[in-house]
């Protein structure tokens, strides 16, 4: 049995994963542990404009960072939803918002909508946020007040819970877009101020002891770095977990074929163009393009499968999509490793970030995975005996989150009506993860609920599945038969209340640009 007290933590890698891990561990354990972070000055980070889950606010709260401090430093903006364009047919759009689904008489409002909605827009009939996004509104008034929602700021939300403990309790109405490289810089200062040792150097070798545990890493200029627990944040390289420890990587490529991306950072005049309060995912012939509105520029990129599209073609498509403004901007071509390491914790090494796993950025889950992994690491942090059960529970939690998200993303493709190219035709016949086929059959007669979605915590509530099914339009859905026999007065009232509230808020809330121009 190992008897090494895991007090000395060495984080290898200084991207979003490395700095989020170092800062969170310091905030959690203070000087009871030592943290060293080594990052290469030569090997870059995947620093595209990032979109997040709303849960990220718990990360900032844990570090005691306030929006007014970190947001301007990271060119951050509010994200109220993901807007899906052209997934059903050209010109169609729908939203996946940060807004809890209302229920009437024990049925979700979307079920009543299938029975007898006000309009053909499920999202506008069932969620206030869809109208706020269409109108480009900020979720805060100019005096900083959050728009009135089921979530009441300063209310009863319990503090100090992990994300999984929060799920289903409240739904905060927005997440963020920010520049990943600027957040890493911000967290570097936070961490170093609190005692994290920061080394800029390249790890050239990883030395194992006789049991195969990592004894130390060898750097180019700083010699050997010894530690007890090593956190692999080296990105797609997986330098420690995959290369040194030989943990196999399990690809998701059979069900999620997008393996490439080309990205552009485009400075734009936001005052003239306005600032959308959401991420946009626009379907393309061989994938989709993300548009992330930051303060002062957009981050955009084409995610595609190289079996269907060459990098040159993808770059051309992206530049045409962006239009004027991107001519002088250099494109960043990225190969994505889609899937997960079979175990994210092996011996005394825990992989966090892209080295642990990644699914394509369709629902912005990369940073959510990191945040979740760090919370789980704190929860299952080992003692001197390195009890293997702690490691096993950690590995199950990580595998479940990624496998669940994989299933949710696959649903986007089989649920999208679009089938005008070979790429989209193939999305309807490709293999799907075990269990999803059976769940799909259930969803055709009963909309997703907590009993019939992927059965382990993976960050996504049932209403998220409803949005993708109702928005995509490929899967035939029907209302619960019981609704045809029920009085729909209360449901009609709820639809009317949502419409009135949306109209009221669109009139009163400032434009997203106006709000952010004051904040920044």
Ligand X SMILES: N[C@H](Cc1c[nH]c2cc(Cl)ccc12)C(=O)O
Ligand Y SMILES: Cc1cc2nc3c(=O)[nH]c(=O)nc-3n(C[C@H](O)[C@H](O)[C@H](O)COP(=O)(O)OP(=O)(O)OC[C@H]3O[C@@H](n4cnc5c(N)ncnc54)[C@H](O)[C@@H]3O)c2cc1C
Q: What string of DSSP letters covers 160-207? A: S--HHHHTTT---S-EEEEEHHHHHHHHHHHHHHTT-EEEE--EEEEE
Segment contacting ligand X by CB under 6 A, of 9-17, 186-194, 387-395, 455-463: 455-463
Distances (CA, A) of 244 to 108, 126, 206, 340, 440: 49, 50, 6, 16, 40
By CB atoms closer than 10 A (0-12, 13-18, 19+), residue 457 is middle
CB-nearer residue toward ligand X: 53 or 295: 53
489 marked as binding residue: no
Q: Residue numbers of the site for ligand Y (CB under 6 A)?
A: 12-18, 38-40, 43, 45-46, 48, 50-52, 180, 202-203, 233-235, 237, 239, 261, 263, 301, 334, 336, 353-354, 361, 364, 366-367, 370
Question: What is the distance, to the nearest Å, from the Cα of residue 471 to the centroid of all Cα atoms in its chain?
Answer: 20
36 annotated to bind ligand = no
Nearer to ligand X, 233 or 362 (CB): 362
Among ligand Y, ligand X, none, the one that 18 touches (CB under a kind-dependent 5 to 8 A) is ligand Y
Query: Do β-strands 249-251 and 260-267 pair in parallel, antiparallel, or remain unpaired?
Result: unpaired
d(CA 457, CA 373): 13
Q: Is 17 annotated as a binding residue?
A: yes
The residues with which 48 forms a beta bridge, in sequence order, are none
In the bound state with ligand X, the residue whose beta carbon lies nearer, of 167 and 253, is 167
The 3-state DSSP class for residue 122 equals helix
Nearest to 25 by CA among 166, 196, 161, 163: 196
Distance CA 427, CA 406 (A): 14
Shortest distance, position 71 Cβ to ligand X, whole Å: 17
Q: Does 55 bind ligand X (CB under 6 A)?
A: yes
* Least Cβ distance, residue 99 to ligand X (angstroms): 8
* 16 marked as binding residue: yes
Q: Is residue 82 at the binding interface for ligand X, with CB under 6 A as the rule?
A: yes
Q: Among residues 52, 275, 362, which one has the least CA distance to residue 177?
A: 52
CB atoms within 10 A of CB 51: 29
Tell me which of ligand X, ligand Y, none is bound by residue 325, counting a contact when its beta carbon lies within the kind-specific cut-off of 5 to 8 angstroms. none
Give the interface size with ligand X as a residue count (CB under 6 A): 14
Task: Single out the segment in contact with ligand X by CB under 6 A; choices: 257-265, 300-308, 327-335, 454-462.
Answer: 454-462
54 binds ligand X (CB under 6 A): yes
Q: Give the nearest distance from C-beta 81 to ligand X in angstroms.
A: 5
Judged by CB under 6 A, the chain residues 172 through 231 that form the site for ligand X are 172
User: Residue 133 binds which entry of ligand X, ligand Y, none, with Cβ cut-offs from 5 to 8 Å by kind?
Assistant: none
Q: Give the H or E element holding residue 94.
A: strand 93-97
245 in a known ligand binding site? no
Residues 6+ apart with CB under 8 A from 246: none
Of residues 138 and 365, the one with the C-beta less far from ligand Y: 365
Least distance in Å: CB of 55 to ligand X? 4
4, burial (CB in 10 Å: exposed 0-12, middle 13-18, buried 19+): middle
Residue among 96, 102, 340, 412 that touches ligand X (CB under 6 A): 96
Is 14 annotated in some ligand binding site? yes
Does 369 bind ligand X (CB under 6 A)? Our answer is no
Quote the least distance from Cβ 292 to ligand X, whole Å.
Answer: 13
Query: Is 268 assigned a ligand-binding role in the annotation?
Result: no
Residue of 26, 79, 425, 428 marked active site:
79
Question: In the complex, what is the shortest distance from the CB of residue 464 to ligand X, in angstroms, rounded to a whole number?
Answer: 5
Q: Does residue 507 have a known ligand-binding role? A: no
Q: Which helix (H) or strand (E) holds 96?
A: strand 93-97
- DSSP three-state, residue 276: coil
Residue 459 binding result from ligand Y, ligand X, none, given CB thresholds of 5 to 8 Å by partner type: ligand X
Q: CA end-to-end span of the chain, whole Å? A: 54
Q: Which is nearer to ligand Y, 23 or 40 (CB)?
A: 40
Residue 50 touches which of ligand Y, ligand X, none (CB < 5 to 8 A by kind)? ligand Y
Q: Which is nearer to ligand Y, 225 or 468 (CB)?
A: 225
Q: How far apart are CA 23 and CA 381, in angstroms?
A: 16
Least Å distance, CB 251 to ligand Y, is 15
What is the separation of C-alpha 87 from the centre of its chain, rounded to a whole number of angstroms?
20
Gyration radius of the chain's alpha carbons:
23
String of b and e for 242-267 (b: at least 16 CB within 10 Å)? Answer: bebbebebeebeebbbbbbbbbbbbe
Shortest distance (Å) from residue 169 CB to ligand X: 11
Ligand-binding site membership of 414 (annotated): no
Considering only 81, 214, 225, 294, the residue that binds ligand X (CB under 6 A) is 81
CA atoms of 442 and 436, how far apart (whole Å): 10
Q: Judge contact between 350 and 377, C-beta under 8 A.
A: yes
Residue 354 interface partner, choices ligand Y, ligand X, none, CB cut-off 5-8 Å depending on type: ligand Y
For residue 108, give the H/E element and its range: strand 107-108
The site partner of 464 among ligand X, ligand Y, none (C-beta below 5 to 8 Å per kind) is: ligand X
Catalytic annotation present for 417: no
Residues annotated within a binding site for FAD: 14-17, 203, 354, 367
> Which residues does the annotation mark as catalytic?
79
Residues annotated within a binding site for 7-chloro-L-tryptophan: 79
Interface residue list for ligand X (CB under 6 A) = 53-55, 81-82, 96, 98, 171-172, 363, 459-461, 464
């Amino acid at each position: 049995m190992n008897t090494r007290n895991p007090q000395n933590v060495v984080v290898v890698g200084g991207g979003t994963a490395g700095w989020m891990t170092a800062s969170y561990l310091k905030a959690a354990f203070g000087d009871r542990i030592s943290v060293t972070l080594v990052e290469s000055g030569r090997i870059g980070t995947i620093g595209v404009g990032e979109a997040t889950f709303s849960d990220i606010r718990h990360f900032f709260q844990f570090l005691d960072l306030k929006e007014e401090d970190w947001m301007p430093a990271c060119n951050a903006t509010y994200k109220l939803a993901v807007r899906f364009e052209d997934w059903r047919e050209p010109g169609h759009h729908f939203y996946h918002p940060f807004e809890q689904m209302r229920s009437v008489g024990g049925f979700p409002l979307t079920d009543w909508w299938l029975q007898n909605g006000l309009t053909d827009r499920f999202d506008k009939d069932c969620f206030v946020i869809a109208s706020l996004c269409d109108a480009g509104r900020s979720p805060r008034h100019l005096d900083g007040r959050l728009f009135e929602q089921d979530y009441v700021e300063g209310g009863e939300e319990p503090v100090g819970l992990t994300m999984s403990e929060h799920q289903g309790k409240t739904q905060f109405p927005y997440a963020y877009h920010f520049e990943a490289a600027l957040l890493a810089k911000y967290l570097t200062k936070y961490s170093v101020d609190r005692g994290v040792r920061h080394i800029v150097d390249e790890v050239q070798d990883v030395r194992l002891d006789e049991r195969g545990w990592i004894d130390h890493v060898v750097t180019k200029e700083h010699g050997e770095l010894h530690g007890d627990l090593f956190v692999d944040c080296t990105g797609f390289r997986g330098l420690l977990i995959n290369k040194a420890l030989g943990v196999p990587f399990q690809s998701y490529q059979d069900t999620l074929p997008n393996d490439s991306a080309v990205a552009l950072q485009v400075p734009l005049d936001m005052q003239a163009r306005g600032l959308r309060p959401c991420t946009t995912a626009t379907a393309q012939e061989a994938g989709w393009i993300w548009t992330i509105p930051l303060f002062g520029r957009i981050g955009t990129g084409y995610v595609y499968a190289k079996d269907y599209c060459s990098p040159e073609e993808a770059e051309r498509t992206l530049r045409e999509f962006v239009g004027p403004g991107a001519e002088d901007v250099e494109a960043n071509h990225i190969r994505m490793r889609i899937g997960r390491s079979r175990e994210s914790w092996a011996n005394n090494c825990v992989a966090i970030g892209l080295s642990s796993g990644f699914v394509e950025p369709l629902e912005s889950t990369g940073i959510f995975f990191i945040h979740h992994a760090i919370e789980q690491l704190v929860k299952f942090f080992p003692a001197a005996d390195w009890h293997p059960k702690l490691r096993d529970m950690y590995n199950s939690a990580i595998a479940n989150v990624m496998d669940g998200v994989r299933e949710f993303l696959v649903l986007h493709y089989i649920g999208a009506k679009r089938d005008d190219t070979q790429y989209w035709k193939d999305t309807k016949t490709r293999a799907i993860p075990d269990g999803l086929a059976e769940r799909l059959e259930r969803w055709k007669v009963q909309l997703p609920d907590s009993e019939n979605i992927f059965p382990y915590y993976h960050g996504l509530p049932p209403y998220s599945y409803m949005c993708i099914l109702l928005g995509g339009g490929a899967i035939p859905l029907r209302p619960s038969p019981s609704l045809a026999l029920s009085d729909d007065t209360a449901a009609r009232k709820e639809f009317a209340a949502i419409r009135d509230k949306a109209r009221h808020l669109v009139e009163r809330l400032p434009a997203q640009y106006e709000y952010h121009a004051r904040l920044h």
